[in-house]
Structure 1
Amino acid sequence: MPAEPARHILFLNWRDTANPEGGGSEVYTERIAAELVAGGHRVTLLCAAHGGAPAEQTLVTGVRVLRRGGRHTVYLRAALAYLAGGVRLGPLAAGARGRPDVIVDVCNGVPFLSPIYARCPTVVVVHHVHREQWPVVLGGWRGRLGWWLESRLAPRVYRRCRYVTVSASTRDELATLGVPGSRVTIIHNGLAGAGAGHLARAAHPCLVVLGRLVPHKRVEYALHALAALAAELPGLRLVVAGRGWWEPRLREHAERLGVADRTDFAGHVSERGKHELLAAGWVALVPSLKEGWGLTIVEAGAHGTPAIAFRAAGGVCDAVRDGRTGLLAEDLDDFVAKTRWLLTDDLTRARMGEAARAYAAGFTWAAAGRQLAALVAEVLGAGSPIRPPQRLP
């Protein structure tokens, strides 16, 4: 991490990794926040309260977590906490009840709109544009309102802010909302913990899906692939790891397709368990409607497991090097066909797996932390400008 003045950096994110509905955005936020702490900065994460999680907590990484409000009220509570000077870092921190030097405003569709009330610079993080997801997640007038907030109001409120995104695909989508590429820095997801010990590949054909169980992740497509290939691959199984309110519907769908006995719903898995599943799988399926990057793709690649995703899903086009580290499908039929190809062609699967392993090795959280620290320094006028983002090779 560069030698820069210690700053108080406030992250605003709707959830944290302990939240049952947390996902890749929360991993990204907390991993980079931890790198900033390691570099000497003070970091606070304000997110929604949930379950029995404490209202205030300091993680082992040194990141201070404040949980305020709920799923819909966290945005207002963040503004009130800032205006009240309530973003504190502990009793011994100098200026502990003072306001942050910079806000990192993570916009997961609904924006925090921090420039309206904050008296410090804001850096906006957008993992992906939710255009296709609003009708699926909410629909009706609520979906239209969400899309207006994201596509009309947010670009205006953040018009003087620097943006961070995780892929060239999302950078290009932001341009369609009026955010010029000159204000967007690409900071990729990192990778950690994948190489701890030898993890065995399953002896039988195995498909793996990892993520939140919600409609727009389209786990149904993986179930369809399983059903379509079951007759020709009698030992084929699908492992679905993750939790979410859509799980009962997925179980019902597996029953209707006649593949319930071939589908393992693993629920929430530990970090070690996640890597064991990704290493055991022959192919990782990422049927999501939209992803900013697709962290699971690179995590699977670190174990030599190629992935299949949809070309129209945004950032997966950067996480998957199509034809080299995995495959991108055009539609459901193509998704099934490409799943069949990788499961039955051992040489191609092994070649893509090794390429995926090499590709994944280039992504680290330390590098991501250094990039964000440099951007913070630039925004605060304490460092030299960083180079504009480049497309992946």
Structure 2
Amino acid sequence: MRRRFRGTPGEHVVWLNFKDATHPHSGGAEEYMHQVTARMVAGGQRVTIVTSRPRHAARAARIGGAAVRRMGNAYTVYPLALLWLLRHRRGIDAIVDTCNGIPFLSPLAVGRRIPVVVLIHHVHQVMFGQRFRFPLAQLGRWLERVGNRLVYGVRTIAVVSPSSRTEVRRVLGLIGPVYVAANGQEPIVVPGAGRCEAPRIVCVGRLAPHKRWDLLLRALPRIAELVPDVELHLVGDGPCRSELAALIDELGIAGRVTMHGRLDDEHRNRLLASGWLTVCTSEVEGWGLAVTEAMSLGVPAVVLASPGLRDSVRNRQTGWVVARPQHLAGQITSALIELEDRGVAALWAVRCRAWAGRFTWAATTDRLTGLLAGEDARRAGHDNRPICDLSTVVELPTHLAARIDFTRLRDVDQVDWEPARVRLLLAGYDESDATALLDRLGITLDPAVTRVAVARPADLLGWQRAAGSRAGDLRPFFAHAVKENAA
């Protein structure tokens, strides 16, 4: 079977997603989609976004250079999208199929002719029970769990965090290879911004049931016992706004809480930069983009140990991960007291900015494109390695990396570097496999200057570049780095 997709200019990528940025309920999944598709277009690819059509929205539009085709409502978009794919399948080179609980089941329309990568931000099994009654809740759970397995089979799955990968395996039981393609973020600069004199908590997010903002509001009176001047600012809107407003009145904390609703980026970022702390109490979160955006402004986070959040926050380095909701008040209080010292707060800010700076949309785009190319290689029979969730990290000095032909690695492998060191993430390899591969590439590993270890969950995050056919020849780049270091 011939290759269809290599990530080169002129190829046509279709991105299936329930909403686009103009939808009144758009959120992080839509931000992810538009940031990546805009960069795909900038790289010369042709992108079509197939999505639902809210009332009064145009059937066709362009966002970030990508063509948007809107059809159907929250339920009918799925069969209509399948019909659209069936009609246009001969002109499609690759598909990103976003499963926001309900899958698009695109292979039913395109079969094995076209590479499909399934993108899952988080598992929705709990949320179906919150949003729907019997029997719709049971049907949604069945489609996400069993429907996915039946239709996608061993197709490549992209998730946004290591804990989401665990959920995809443990809860959904999907059997295809699962790779992490973490959220990126735009650099946020707020000239002249500084933190507020009073201890301020600033939280950004949709006021939706699964966000559990009620947990934070109920903790606030206990926090105020030891931090009397604490204030809370909530930025965002959603179906729970009136319910949360009533709870604020019931708890008698109206003087401490400001609900801003939606703010434009400038005002939101300035308010966020003034905070001492951000908090996320979500039960279900693919990653927690609002949390890493706060970190990019030097603001640490307190989060529940939910899937995604426990990856986006490095416990006791860029924030605090709380195991149980009943511990929220104590941890937030302790964090605010610790951050009273401006010198201590400055150290937290340095670590937060360094961590957040590792995540870029350029790296996310490169990763998704590499996964599409890797899935196409599997479809065409060029990569027949067994499916394995194990990965190995190889760390070696730059002068050795300058001898590696990175195009001989696979598109699902990754590369990262610092001035004197280069790291490789080899998917589906243990230490012995990785050592043997490097030996075939002409690199004999010296334990004194190299490290080979099975990847931990945290090792799957923060990579700069896809290896394989997309890497190009990195040898001159690393050779130049060696000369610079020597000088």
Larger radius of gyration: 2
Whether the 8 Å contact between 1:115 and 1:121 is mirrored in structure 2 is no
**1:6-52 deviations in Å (ceiling 9; x for gaps):** 21111111111222211111111111111111111111111112243
Rounded to whole Å, the distance in 1 between the matches of 2:92 and 2:411 is 22
Whether the 8 Å contact between 1:20 and 1:244 is mirrored in structure 2 is no
1:76 aligns with 2:79: yes
Rounded to whole Å, the distance in 2 between the matches of 1:253 and 1:242 is 17
Which residues in structure 2 correspond to 1:151-230 (within 5 Å)?
151-176=145-170, 177-180=172-175, 183-230=177-224
Compute the displacement of 1:128 (Å).
1.3
Compute the displacement of 1:285 (Å).
0.8
Change (3 A) 1:188 1:281: same
The match for 1:9 is 13
Compute the displacement of 1:160 (Å).
3.0
Change (3 A) 1:3 1:109: closer
Whether the 8 Å contact between 1:4 and 1:377 is mirrored in structure 2 is no
1:343 aligns with 2:347: no
> Residue type matched to 1:286 in 2?
C
> Residue type matched to 1:12 in 2?
L
Q: How many residues align?
A: 378
1:279 aligns with 2:279: no
Rounded to whole Å, the distance in 2 between the matches of 1:173 and 1:322 is 20
Whether the 8 Å contact between 1:20 and 1:243 is mirrored in structure 2 is no
1:19 aligns with 2:23: yes
Which residues in structure 2 correspond to 1:130-149 (within 5 Å)?
130-149=124-143
The match for 1:392 is 458
Compute the displacement of 1:349 (Å).
4.4
Which residues in structure 2 correspond to 1:1-393 (within 5 Å)?
4-59=8-63, 61-85=64-88, 99-119=91-111, 120-176=114-170, 177-180=172-175, 183-311=177-305, 313-346=306-339, 347=341, 349-381=345-377, 384-387=410-413, 388=427, 390=455, 391-393=457-459
Whether the 8 Å contact between 2:148 and 2:174 is mirrored in structure 1 is no
Whether the 8 Å contact between 1:135 and 1:143 is mirrored in structure 2 is yes
**1:218-255 deviations in Å (ceiling 9; x for gaps):** 01112112222234433322111111111111111111
Compute the displacement of 1:77 (Å).
2.0
Rounded to whole Å, the distance in 1 between the matches of 2:190 and 2:370 is 30
Identical aligned pairs, as a percentage? 33
**1:120-164 deviations in Å (ceiling 9; x for gaps):** 221100011123322223243322221111111112211131110
Change (3 A) 1:360 1:157: same
The match for 1:95 is none
Structure 2 unaligned residues grouped into runs of 5+? 1-5, 381-406, 414-426, 429-454, 460-487
**1:56-78 deviations in Å (ceiling 9; x for gaps):** 1112x211112211122221221
Compute the displacement of 1:350 (Å).
4.0
Whether the 8 Å contact between 2:226 and 2:333 is mirrored in structure 1 is no
Whether the 8 Å contact between 1:137 and 1:216 is mirrored in structure 2 is no
Moved more, 207-216 or 136-145: 136-145
Compute the displacement of 1:330 (Å).
1.9
TM-score w.r.t. length of structure 1: 0.90
Rounded to whole Å, the distance in 1 between the matches of 2:62 and 2:202 is 33
Compute the displacement of 1:116 (Å).
1.0
Structure 1 unaligned residues grouped into runs of 5+? 88-97
Compute the displacement of 1:5 (Å).
4.5
Rounded to whole Å, the distance in 1 between the matches of 2:228 and 2:243 is 25
Rounded to whole Å, the distance in 1 between the matches of 2:230 and 2:183 is 31
**1:71-91 deviations in Å (ceiling 9; x for gaps):** 222212211222333x9xxxx
Rounded to whole Å, the distance in 1 between the matches of 2:148 and 2:359 is 30
Rounded to whole Å, the distance in 2 between the matches of 1:127 and 1:111 is 12
**1:291-336 deviations in Å (ceiling 9; x for gaps):** 111111111100111111111x101111010111111112222111
* Aligned Cα root-mean-square deviation (Å): 2.1
Change (3 A) 1:375 1:50: same
Moved more, 285-294 or 4-13: 4-13
Whether the 8 Å contact between 1:323 and 1:352 is mirrored in structure 2 is no
SS at match of 1:185: strand
The match for 2:465 is none
SS at match of 1:113: coil
SS at match of 2:126: coil
Compute the displacement of 1:54 (Å).
2.1
TM-score w.r.t. length of structure 2: 0.73
> Residue type matched to 1:103 in 2?
I
Compute the displacement of 1:196 (Å).
5.0
Change (3 A) 1:99 1:196: farther
> Residue type matched to 2:219 in 1?
A
